[in-house]
Structure 1
Amino acid sequence: MDIKRSLVLLCTSYGSFLLGQEKAVDTIYIFDNQMSKVKLFHPVRTITPKDIEKNSTNLSDLLRFQSSIYIKENGRGAVSSPSFRGSTAQQTAFVWNGININSSFLGQGDVNNIPLFGYDQIDIKAGGGSVVYGSGAIGGSIHLNNILDFNRGFKASVYSEAGSFDTYNNFAQASFSNDRFSIKVSGSYLTSQNDYKVPEFVVGSTGFDNINGKYYNTSVNIGASYKIADHQTISWQNQMFDASQHYPVFETNGNKTKYNAQTLRSLIAWDIQKSNLSNSLKAAYTEDNFQYFSDLNQPKTSGADGKNYIFKNDFNYFITPKININAIGEFQVNKGEGYESGLGSISRNVGSLAGLIRYFATKDLRFEAGIKKDFVEDISSPLLYSFSGKWNALQWYRTGINFSRNFRFPSFNDLYWNPGGNLDLLPETSTNVDMNHEFSFGDFKITLSPYYMDIKNMINWLPTPYGYWAPVNTYKVESYGLESQVMWNKTFGKHAFRLDAGYTYSKSVNKSTGMQMMYVPLHKAVGNIEYGYSFLKVYAQGLFNGLTYTSTDEKRSTAIDPYFILNAGISASILKKYTLGFKVNNLTDTIYQTVSLYPMPKRNYSVYATINF
């Protein structure tokens, strides 16, 4: 969603000052009501369902090729975690329809245990956002958003894909809406034997064979919204997910293990929207359950069940046509119970109060300031704040600045793991500064975003003299760098060109040693180019990843070498209802890894079909 559309949504819902600048849009319901306001001050990358089809293997593949995030994946489809601007996985927040869904146990999101399909858009925001999105929003946040619209009648689609390594991927979606009611239902099923081989990559005495690498997952999404009055809407969003990952072994007779995960997320919202005020009251329930099997043929060895009860109220009011105030209150009850996993029965109350004020000086100049206080049971939390400004200085140049203090409080594992849990841990805190420079030249748009982060009280698990590992607040981290993006769109006649490319420089160092952090490449570049003519489309994707250290001492012998990967695909639309496509992943047949000792697949293929009703 571009800045122009964001302005429309904000004024339609929250005030009259900007209403005269744009025309009204069709009535839609966005579950993350803060996102339209975030886009007024921060660059946000939006990935559409059509973009998702290009990297349909899993969410890891999508983020790897279509964002600046570095994804650490223990082989295709296995455990996966993000590194955003040189930060850790725990310092990246996953947000589902406005609700932070990072695991209470791990403090992070397992990328491959989050469904890929079923969202109307995926938004990627770089930089701190704890004032709005809570614990973990330090390096950035990944937003999984659903939208319901009205007066659209009936629509449906089916996507089916078959690929190398006995991989089958299916997704179906149907929706109906009239002037007062809207409903959308979708479901996905993905399964893969994942038995790829990389004979050139030697592990021990033989080439790599991804033995016991199979996985599957299934998800169901249901969303509904009803206008109970002209200015009031009741809405519901529900997601159920079930998955199983087998962990690869290096030898045929190795011990075969697996990991099962189930998540449930349910959200009810009551929204009131008038010309100068709005209020959104949300109640959510989420579950995160997992089981580990040290032997495929035996009962589970360990596991845990997590339950979260969340209540959130978001109030907006234009006290004058130029001044908007925003108050956000949230309360959570986090519960967890372990099974042979070092955790007993635990519970934690978490509350927060945040206030933001926005000043629209002119149509080209606006500011936002925010402050927040979290109340985490048995943990002293810092006062958080943020300041943002955006100036459309010239017709071809826009600039913005963002300054914020952010944090992450310790997870259940950090505090209560037995043995090793540390009840004296302090929250991680960060100070973030970034600038944004946007240049527009005809059909070209160039964005340059230098940034700086100073992170204190990093939580690390270290060995103890007693023979077990324990978390402690250790060193400070300094991260700085540059994110850049070039976009070009051109249409003439039946021809359409689209270019979307980005380069990221990330310097993230341990201030005690001056050395680069593990699994943070200095350089990463991605590029997507697409050409369409009439009913045909052709695209290519490129990914360059620079030298990546896998140890804290910058040891070159164990580092991951730079690599370049190229994907390509072609599709044809028939009668506007049917699409047939063919994709080649890793066209360059590159041998590469994102985590040491776990190579990713070489060249592989897939075919897919889409039917729209």
Structure 2
Amino acid sequence: MRRFVVIGIVLWALAQNVVAQQPFTVFDTVQVEEVVSYGKLQKYQSGAKIERINARQFSLGQDGNLEQLLSRSLPIAFKTNAGGLATIRIRGSAPDHTSFNFGGININSLTLGHSNVNNVPIYLFDNIGVQFGSASSVNGSGSIGGAIHLGLQNNWTKGFKAEARVANGSFGEQLYGTKLFYGNGKFEGVTRAYYYSKKNDFKFLNPNYRDFENDIFEIEDTQHNANIENMGLLQELNYKFNMDEFFIFNVWLEKDWHLVQQNMQTNLNNPDLKEQYNDDHVRVWTGYKNRKNPFKFEINGGYVYDNAVSNENTSDTISTQRIIGEAFIEHDFSPNASYKAGAKATRIYPSVYAYSKSLDHEDRVDLYASYYQRFFNRLTTTLNLRYGYVTDFDVPFTPSFGLNYLALSTEKYVLRFTGNVARSYRVPTFNDRFWVPGGNPDLDPEKGMNYELGSKWSYCDGTLSGNVKLNAFLMNVDDWILWKNGGAYWYAANVQKVQSKGLELMTDWDYTVFGLKANSGLNYTYTSAQRKESENNTNALNRQLEYVPLHSGNFFTTVAYNKFDFTVDGSYTDEQFTDEEEKNILDAYFLMNVAVGYNWKIDEQNQIRINGIINNVLDTDYQSSWGYAMPGIAYRLSITYKFK
């Protein structure tokens, strides 16, 4: 029934084409007003490394999730299985050290501390911004390793335009989606909806088979009970009073369901085992924005409801509600200087069966200020200050300082150097503090210090243009929280000190070869992340952390010819430890994907885009999480119809 609701929306969108009367070239480049984009972060963060996914890679990722997009386009590590669960590890940090931001909402679970990256659909958003390194001075708790920003862009549509998208692929993969844009230039409504499902019944070689008589120790197996079914709706209602004053209202409803993938041994010995997991989310973000010079201000508010259910056991409640208010003022008091000051308040109501009954709610308040200064059109500096308050909990003061220096500038190339120093923190999760038994309300916050130096060389000469970016980083995290085995039960404790350091190289080029337009990129990261101190009795001191590859990287190339475009991309992941012992080490692996697209312009009002992609074209046998099977070669075909 759920599937047919979304399919119905898609069919309704297609039917609206009969009333189309104005010409509309969907794939033409148009000038878009810079009104709302949650990924616009650079002004008050000089020296911070902030990347935005380019348009071609973003378009290819529309049928998938955030893990699939980021792992192909940026040097970021993930621990994942065949689609049910994926967690992020930026620069060797933990999954709960990266914030995922939708407007002023960090969508990370307040009970678990992190997000399932497989449950973040690309189809609902217009752009993705990624900040590497500490972002706590801007985003607050949970941004020790980095921050992801899910962006929406206002177009202030006049009239009506829409798209419908259908995708089908291997192992029962399906996606149905639609986007509807309607407005009169001042008012704009945008409706985005999708339905995604996958059976995940792929075949793989299972090494847990034992036939000693015939000397057979692996067998072809089929993954059982790893189905996925996700659906979401994102509704925007926006009003523009004038070019500098507008109102936004966004609602994101998400319902995610999957059968928990069993490891290969369980899949072989108990193929009928099923474990269900449901996630329901309601996220509302609204605000009034006034950008009239010299004083600009915003007043925003939000509401979040998160609910998780395992095996349909609704009596074991795991849910939280948040009410958020935020306001700030920004003053450009000279052409080269400005400041920003604001406050953000959140009240949280947890409802978790395993928490103390005395916990009714928690209040969090953040006060922040930012300053921007430009000197002689060559040097920009920024200073950010943030101080937080949490009920019955001490939060550290988090400043950051950054600079961006234009060293050389000619007709063909530009060379910049950047630097950034930032303090960061993470408030322990509700589970860490209040789970009974094992939670510890006296935990200290995790605290980080981030140091970064970078350079960016940009070149442009006729048919060749591009960038080469090199960053070096050092990050120390104290009071890293782990759960320890106390015998009778596990308990949370500030256990270890971790140091992460490394280099990141990123390149992207646009060029013409044999008359064909092409775009290529290469990314590489060296990340040394090690325990320097630990209260646990471990032999893993001064050794690479679990699920953090020492070397990783990826590349991509897209070539356009007439109405066709061809893309090839690949990614390399070094070997990874999976526990604190010198065993169960994941082998290094290389994955390659190829894609082809075709743009069919029917007329000025109607256009069709066809995409075909083959994932893991080399049919690589690999694991991203110890003991869990991953699919081999797979295809996906999608058709997108756009009209006005």
The letter for the 2-side match of 1:64 is S
Instruction: Map Cα deviations across residues 231-271 of structure 1 (whole Å, 9 max, x no partner).
Output: 42111111000011101231344531110001111011011
Residue 148 of structure 1 aligns to a residue in which SS? Answer: coil
Identify unmatched segments of 5+ residues in structure 1: 1-24
Counterpart for residue 312 of structure 1: 326
Is the CA contact (8 Å cut-off) linking 1:148 and 1:223 kept in structure 2? Answer: no
Counterpart for residue 118 of structure 1: 124
Instruction: Map Cα deviations across residues 291-313 of structure 1 (whole Å, 9 max, x no partner).
Output: 001xxxx6447341110111111
User: Relative to 1, partners in 2 of residues 1:26 and 1:165: Cα closer, same or farther, differing over 3 Å?
Assistant: closer
Counterpart for residue 504 of structure 1: 525
For 1:373-388, what aligned pairs fall within 5 Å after superposition? 373-388=387-402
The letter for the 2-side match of 1:227 is K
**1:66 & 1:159 partners in 2: Cα distance?**
23
1:159 paired residue among 159, 162, 165? 165
For 1:72-471, what aligned pairs fall within 5 Å after superposition? 72-73=79-80, 75-150=81-156, 152-199=158-205, 201-202=207-208, 206-228=219-241, 231-249=244-262, 250=267, 251-293=269-311, 299-300=313-314, 302-339=316-353, 341=354, 344=357, 346-395=360-409, 396-442=414-460, 443-465=465-487, 467-471=488-492
User: Relative to 1, partners in 2 of residues 1:50 and 1:201: Cα closer, same or farther, differing over 3 Å?
Assistant: farther
Is the CA contact (8 Å cut-off) linking 2:254 and 2:281 kept in structure 1? Answer: yes
The letter for the 2-side match of 1:589 is D
Residue 497 of structure 1 aligns to a residue in which SS? Answer: strand
Report the TM-score when normalising by structure 1. Answer: 0.91
The letter for the 1-side match of 2:370 is L
RMSD: 2.1
Task: Give the Å deviation of 1:71.
Answer: 1.1
Task: Give the Å deviation of 1:202.
Answer: 3.9
Runs of at least 4 residues off by over 6 Å = none
User: Relative to 1, partners in 2 of residues 1:464 and 1:299: Cα closer, same or farther, differing over 3 Å?
Assistant: closer
Question: Does residue 1:54 correspond to 2:75, yes or no?
Answer: no
User: Relative to 1, partners in 2 of residues 1:427 and 1:387: Cα closer, same or farther, differing over 3 Å?
Assistant: same
Task: Give the Å deviation of 1:155.
Answer: 2.4
Between 244-253 and 390-399, report the one with greater CA deviation. 244-253
**1:113 & 1:573 partners in 2: Cα distance?**
29
2:620 paired residue among 579, 590, 607? 590
Is the CA contact (8 Å cut-off) linking 2:44 and 2:384 kept in structure 1? Answer: no
Between 38-47 and 125-134, report the one with greater CA deviation. 38-47
The letter for the 2-side match of 1:550 is T
Task: Give the Å deviation of 1:199.
Answer: 1.9
Report the TM-score when normalising by structure 2. Answer: 0.87
User: Relative to 1, partners in 2 of residues 1:151 and 1:253: Cα closer, same or farther, differing over 3 Å?
Assistant: closer
Task: Give the Å deviation of 1:201.
Answer: 4.5
User: Relative to 1, partners in 2 of residues 1:254 and 1:185: Cα closer, same or farther, differing over 3 Å?
Assistant: same
Question: Does residue 1:483 correspond to 2:504, yes or no?
Answer: yes
The letter for the 2-side match of 1:78 is G
User: Relative to 1, partners in 2 of residues 1:264 and 1:461: Cα closer, same or farther, differing over 3 Å?
Assistant: same
Counterpart for residue 565 of structure 2: 537
Counterpart for residue 23 of structure 2: none
The letter for the 2-side match of 1:564 is F
Between 85-94 and 178-187, report the one with greater CA deviation. 178-187
**2:335 & 2:84 partners in 1: Cα distance?**
51
User: Relative to 1, partners in 2 of residues 1:192 and 1:151: Cα closer, same or farther, differing over 3 Å?
Assistant: closer
User: Relative to 1, partners in 2 of residues 1:35 and 1:98: Cα closer, same or farther, differing over 3 Å?
Assistant: farther
Counterpart for residue 19 of structure 1: none
Residue 71 of structure 2 aligns to a residue in which SS? Answer: helix
Residue 361 of structure 2 aligns to a residue in which SS? Answer: strand
Instruction: Map Cα deviations across residues 578-604 of structure 1 (whole Å, 9 max, x no partner).
Output: 122211000010011111001210001
Counterpart for residue 29 of structure 1: 35
User: Relative to 1, partners in 2 of residues 1:50 and 1:177: Cα closer, same or farther, differing over 3 Å?
Assistant: farther
Between 582-591 and 105-114, report the one with greater CA deviation. 105-114
Task: Give the Å deviation of 1:127.
Answer: 0.8
Identity score, percent = 24
Task: Give the Å deviation of 1:112.
Answer: 2.0
Counterpart for residue 565 of structure 1: 591
Is the CA contact (8 Å cut-off) linking 2:45 and 2:402 kept in structure 1? Answer: no
Counterpart for residue 13 of structure 1: none
User: Relative to 1, partners in 2 of residues 1:538 and 1:509: Cα closer, same or farther, differing over 3 Å?
Assistant: same
Task: Give the Å deviation of 1:363.
Answer: 2.4
User: Relative to 1, partners in 2 of residues 1:561 and 1:183: Cα closer, same or farther, differing over 3 Å?
Assistant: same
User: Relative to 1, partners in 2 of residues 1:299 and 1:408: Cα closer, same or farther, differing over 3 Å?
Assistant: closer
The letter for the 1-side match of 2:69 is L
**2:206 & 2:569 partners in 1: Cα distance?**
24
**2:379 & 2:563 partners in 1: Cα distance?**
42
Counterpart for residue 69 of structure 1: 76
The letter for the 2-side match of 1:570 is V
User: Relative to 1, partners in 2 of residues 1:480 and 1:574: Cα closer, same or farther, differing over 3 Å?
Assistant: same
User: Relative to 1, partners in 2 of residues 1:233 and 1:50: Cα closer, same or farther, differing over 3 Å?
Assistant: same
**1:151 & 1:267 partners in 2: Cα distance?**
21
**1:435 & 1:257 partners in 2: Cα distance?**
46
Task: Give the Å deviation of 1:346.
Answer: 4.0
Is the CA contact (8 Å cut-off) linking 1:90 and 1:108 kept in structure 2? Answer: yes
Residue 165 of structure 1 aligns to a residue in which SS? Answer: helix
**1:199 & 1:583 partners in 2: Cα distance?**
24
Task: Give the Å deviation of 1:376.
Answer: 0.8
2:611 paired residue among 561, 581, 593? 581
Residue 384 of structure 2 aligns to a residue in which SS? Answer: strand
Residue 65 of structure 1 aligns to a residue in which SS? Answer: helix
The letter for the 2-side match of 1:63 is L
The letter for the 1-side match of 2:150 is L
Between 108-117 and 45-54, report the one with greater CA deviation. 45-54
Counterpart for residue 518 of structure 1: 546
Between 228-237 and 240-249, report the one with greater CA deviation. 228-237
Query: Aligned pairs, how many?
Result: 581
Between 184-193 and 313-322, report the one with greater CA deviation. 313-322
Is the CA contact (8 Å cut-off) linking 1:86 and 1:479 kept in structure 2? Answer: yes
The letter for the 2-side match of 1:382 is P
Instruction: Choose between structure 1 and 2 for higher RCO, CA contacts under 8 A separated by at least 6 residues.
Output: 2
**2:209 & 2:397 partners in 1: Cα distance?**
49
Counterpart for residue 20 of structure 1: none
Task: Give the Å deviation of 1:177.
Answer: 3.6
